Chain A
Amino acid sequence: MNANLNIKVSPPACSACGIAYIGAMIGGLIQQGRPLPIVLGALCRLFDAAAEGYASSVLLFDRSRTQIRHAIGPGLPAAYTRLLEGLPVTSDDRACDGTQHEKPESIIAQLMADILREDNGRALARTYGFKSCWWWPILSLTGVPLGVLAIYQREAGGYAPFPPALVQQLTDIASLAIERTRSDENVRRSEMLLAKAQRLSSTGSFSWCIATDELTWSDELYRIFEFDPDDSVSLEHVIARIHPEDLPSFHALVERARCGGGDLDCEHRLLMPEGTVKYLHLVADGTRDQDGQLEYIGAIQDITERRQSEQVLDKLRTELAHVARVTSLGALTASIAHEVNQPLLGVITNASSCLRILAADPPDLELARETARLAIRDGQRASDVITRLRSLFSKRGATSELVDLNEAIREVLALLFGELQRSSAVVRVELCEGLPPVIGDRVQLQQVILNLVMNAAEAMSGVNDRARRLTIRTRLHKGHCVRLSVQDAGVGITHQDAPRLFDAFYTTKSGGMGIGLSVSRSIVENHRGRLWAEANAGHGATFSFAIPRADEDVPAPRAAQSTRPSTRAVRGAGTSA
């Protein structure tokens, strides 16, 4: 297996026992986890020391076998080995040839011919004064070429190959060294990738042996809990970090895990020593090891940023809803004046009557008392109107309670009474009797109803050839939802408007800001519901929303989670319903 150079061989020192010594030395280096070039360099040095007059080298291919990654030959001139590094393993014309590509011997023969050949300007071996060269492929256990073992001789000599068994053992040692080191590297790489992935996703992993309470934590988990990476972690350490409000549920979780209570999935908070709060999501699967011991293997993700951005989003949503309410407040001024002036007339009239009755001789004291009582009642009524308005238009965060949509509609219609009369709408109210309540924010839902009703009235403002019929309905929707629809006989929805109807700042009205419907939809979706519009068969459009009924066995909307006491009250009421 040589080309162009004369070959002379007799490595007398490379006896069977010499090979065994080399094998043991190299094995030791691999165990120590030394880098591959050092291990292979040691292999060459040991061989060179045993076979006088020869210089061995290993040409190590890269993982894709396209070029020489390392040329290791401590007995060769460094300038020579440097020139070999980076040489392509397959020349371009050969790379195209699939069948040749598959045969390691052919590839390596071509490579060595390229290195040694005179006529292509790469006569490197001759340039550096080598007279003979032998080479053998280094193959993996599966026969994939990993590199080349090449042995050079400075003095020209005759053809006399090394004993095949000896060569086989040398290439085996090199192959083993390369494969072992690379698989160690692979493990290190995948560990590093895992650590990076954990870091990027803010997710730590752990295992927890129930019998011994032994915890094994990933580095990322140490970082999340802000524990010293050199300390071992116990369940007590973990519990010390849990937010006091979440401790009862965390203890319950631990108890459930100890009883082998299936897979775990929960969210809880940490209270860090400097007072900051972290939100974590834990998922773990219980498994039994070979000894039948219960072990939980799981992941914990730091979802603090997500939770915080959700809180910011909630706040923005509340503010936007407030803007929308204040905008409609302007449109409602006349209606509000109507609602307040009506009871005020009662107050003034009754007080006047009272004075006149008392001025008579003799005064009818019983009638005077009666008119005073009526004045108080009407004053109370005016005050109720103001309270309703304040709750509808004040700026506040979402709350959660049981809401009867029928009742919510009645209250909104009471406020809109004058407005609807002014717009000459013929209002028909078809409320489903025994409608189950929904869980949510009453005022926000009333805001949606108010928006839909005002829109419907406005859509009919130019209609003069037919009744301005406005129908508000409640129904059960697909069994598990409550649906509210507002149907008008107005201008309807054009194909042009339909796709953008719910976009913020899109409006077809001259005086509108275009936030009503987009805010309405965001409110409805926050109640896990849906808001949609349909063109009527005849004139106008119908806007509807459907929200899950409260007694559905589903978690409350997010607004409910932030107000624990009312959530509990709601759940209690829900189950008894």
Chain B
Amino acid sequence: MSAVSLISLVDDDQSVRESLPILLKQFGHPTRTFAAAEDFLTSDAVAQTRCLILDVALPGMSGPELQRALELKGHRIPVIFITAQTDEALPARLLAQGAVDVLVKPFSDTALLQALDKALRAS
């Protein structure tokens, strides 16, 4: 676990993009935010990101689609999915597809911290 681990956040909700980086900074991690999957995929953040916090439902390319696209390109970035959907079968499906954790909104700061620890250990 390196001292400075860049975390990237992809969520189309602006309030999430504003609030989570402040909390992550309290945990000691710098964060870059993206409103769309495509924006992240084409940015230079891909190579530096140690953990990707990824919203499931995104306009255009969805969260799981981004995850597959990254794998295809050979980027093995640990993914924590976050979702506001109440579909009970969704977390198990995402975990089966290789997600480190699935956090259902609204989640607590400790749940996020635990997931982060898991992700950063994995990377």
Within 8 Å CB of B105, what residues of A? 341-342, 344-345
Chain B CB within 8 A of A421 CB: yes
Question: Would you give the 0/1 interface string for B15-36, flagging 1 where the beta carbon is closer than 8 Å to chain A?
Answer: 1101110110010000000000
Task: Report the interface size for chain A: residues with CB under 8 A from the other chain.
Answer: 30
From B68-76, B83-91, B94-102, the one touching the partner chain is B83-91
Q: Give the distance to chain B from A425, nearest Cβ to Cβ, in Å.
A: 12
Complex CA–CA separation, A343 to B106 (angstroms): 8
**Minimum C-beta distance from B85 to chain A (A):** 6
Looking at the assembled complex, report how far the CB atom of B107 sits from the nearest CB atom of chain A, in whole angstroms: 7
Contact partners of A338 in chain B: CB under 8 A: 57, 84-86
Minimum CB–CB distance from B87 to chain A (whole Å) comes to 7
Q: Is A365 an interface residue (CB 8 A)?
A: no
A350 within 8 A of B: yes
Q: Tell whether A371 is near chain B: CB-to-CB under 8 Å.
A: yes
Cα A345 to Cα B22 in complex, Å, equals 13
0/1 per residue, A349-384, Cβ < 8 Å to B?
Answer: 110110011001000000100110010011001000
Q: How far is the CB of A449 from chain B (nearest CB, A)?
A: 21
Tell me the smallest distance from the CB of A428 to a CB of chain B, in Å.
12
A residues near B107, Cβ cutoff 8 Å: 345, 348
Question: B13 near A: Cβ within 8 Å?
Answer: yes
Query: B19: which A residues are within 8 A, CB to CB?
Result: 345-346, 349-350, 353, 371, 374, 378
Chain B's closest residue to A370 (CB) is B22
- Shortest B78–chain A CB gap in Å is 20
| Cα–Cα, bound, A374→B108 (Å) | 16
Cβ B15 vs Cβ A334 within 8 A: no
B87 proximity list for chain A (CB < 8 A): 334, 422
Asked whether B26 lies within 8 Å of A348 as measured between CB atoms, the reply is no
B109 contacts chain A at the CB level, 8 A cutoff: yes
Q: What distance in Å separates the Cβ of B24 from its nearest Cβ neighbour in chain A?
A: 9
For the complex formed, measure the closest distance between the CB of B15 and the CB atoms of chain A, giving whole angstroms.
Answer: 4
| Minimum C-beta distance from A365 to chain B (A) | 14
Query: A422 near B85 (CB under 8 angstroms)?
Result: yes
CB <8 Å contact, A342 and B86: no
Asked if B106 and A334 sit within 8 Å, CB to CB, the answer is: no
Please report which residues of chain A, range 403-420, place their CB below 8 angstroms from some CB of chain B when the two chains form the complex.
Answer: 418
> Which residues of chain B have C-beta atoms less than 8 A from A341's C-beta?
84, 104-106
Interface size class of B (residues with CB under 8 A): 20 to 34
Partner of B109 from the list A337, A356, A422 (CB cut-off 8 Å) is A356
Closest partner residue, chain A, to B14 (CB atom): A346
With A337-B86, A348-B108, A367-B22 as contacts: A342 and B16 at CB distance below 8 Å:
yes
Inter-chain CA distance A371–B109, complex, in Å, is 14
Query: Are A377 and B15 interface neighbours, CB within 8 A?
Result: yes
For residue A347, CB closer than 8 A to chain B, the reply is yes
CB neighbours (8 Å) of A422 from chain B are 57, 85, 87
List chain B residues, Cβ under 8 A from A334: 85-87
| Across-interface contacts of A360 in B (CB, < 8 A) | 26
A346 touches B16 (CB 8 A): yes
A459 → chain B, closest Cβ, in Å?
21
Show 22 residue pairs from A and B whose CB-CB distance is below 8 angstroms, ordered by the A residue.
A334-B85, A337-B86, A338-B57, A341-B104, A342-B13, A344-B105, A344-B106, A345-B16, A345-B84, A345-B106, A346-B15, A346-B18, A347-B106, A352-B23, A353-B19, A360-B26, A371-B19, A374-B15, A418-B57, A418-B84, A421-B57, A422-B85
Residues of A within 8 A of B (CB): 333-334, 337-339, 341-350, 352-353, 356-357, 360, 367, 370-371, 374, 377-378, 381, 418, 421-422
19 more A-B residue pairs beyond the given contacts A342-B16, A377-B15, with a C-beta to C-beta distance below 8 A = A333-B86, A337-B86, A342-B13, A345-B106, A346-B15, A346-B18, A347-B106, A348-B106, A349-B19, A349-B20, A349-B23, A350-B22, A352-B23, A356-B23, A367-B22, A370-B22, A374-B19, A418-B84, A422-B87
